[in-house]
Amino acid sequence: MPDHDSLEERLDISFNDKNLLNQALVHSSFLNENPGVFTESNERLEFLGDAIIGSAIAAELFSTYDSWPEGMLTSGRSSLVQGDTLARVAGRLGLGEYLQMGRGEEAAGGRNRSNNLAATFEAVVGAHFLDCGYDAAADLVLRLLKPELSELTEPGASPNPKSLLQEAIQARGQTAPSYRIVKVEGQDHARRFTAEVVVDGEPIGTGTGSRKALAERVAAVDALKTMAGDS
């Protein structure tokens, strides 16, 4: 089993209390076969991490997609905090390699089981929260889920609103849309970008986000709504 130093390198964090990280990697099946080694499994940390992840994602979506109503924010959060998504993130990190589990669970493929991977990721987040506080844990969540966040668009819409907009514009015989950043606000660590999507020299949609790419996606969604209203 790889040492935990290599996991900290993958996470790009360092635990002050290594026991918390150790605890986050203990599957309940290990306790059954190795009584007395650990006092408890990672399940309580899993519970805590689940709450931290949900809170961090909710705050990020609220600030990034300021045109989304409550239902859309809820749907977006659900798609990011669901088990399959967290298991995918855990898989990228190789968390299954570090799990301490019973021989039976391992023989049954437990290291690659989605629910185990998602639970371990939640437990690691919970442990980091106890070790370094909420801000550090939320930063870890947003950093590790960055690929999923960057792909998120309006729930139920095309996974790539910029491509969909380009197709719609070309179907009208107009020139391809272009994007420009028209406003940058906030401190370096909390930038807010406002983008416009422009067709034939006229802005047809605007969007705001914590990154330029997100602002452009929101602008594309806004333009698609405008075009739908005009049709």
- Which of 46, 50, 105, 196 is catalytic? The answer is 50
Catalytic site includes residue 50? yes
Helices (H), 82-151: 83-93, 103-107, 114-132, 134-144, 146-151
Tell me how far apart the alpha carbons of residues 68 and 79 are, in angstroms, rounded to a whole number.
15
For the beta carbon of residue 59, count every other beta carbon within 10 angstroms: 13
- Which of 46, 60, 105, 122 is catalytic? The answer is 122
Residue 184: C-alpha distances to residues 142, 201, 209, 212, 217 (Å): 21, 21, 10, 9, 16
Q: Which of 102, 64, 98, 103 is nearest to 80 (CA)?
A: 64
Residue 183: C-alpha distances to residues 67, 193, 215 (Å): 17, 6, 10
> What's the DSSP call for residue 95?
G
Strand ranges (E), the chain? 178-185, 192-199, 202-209
Rounded to a whole number of angstroms, the distance between the first and last alpha carbons of the chain is 60
For the beta carbon of residue 168, count every other beta carbon within 10 angstroms: 17
Catalytic site includes residue 43? no
Query: Which residues are catalytically annotated?
Result: 50, 122
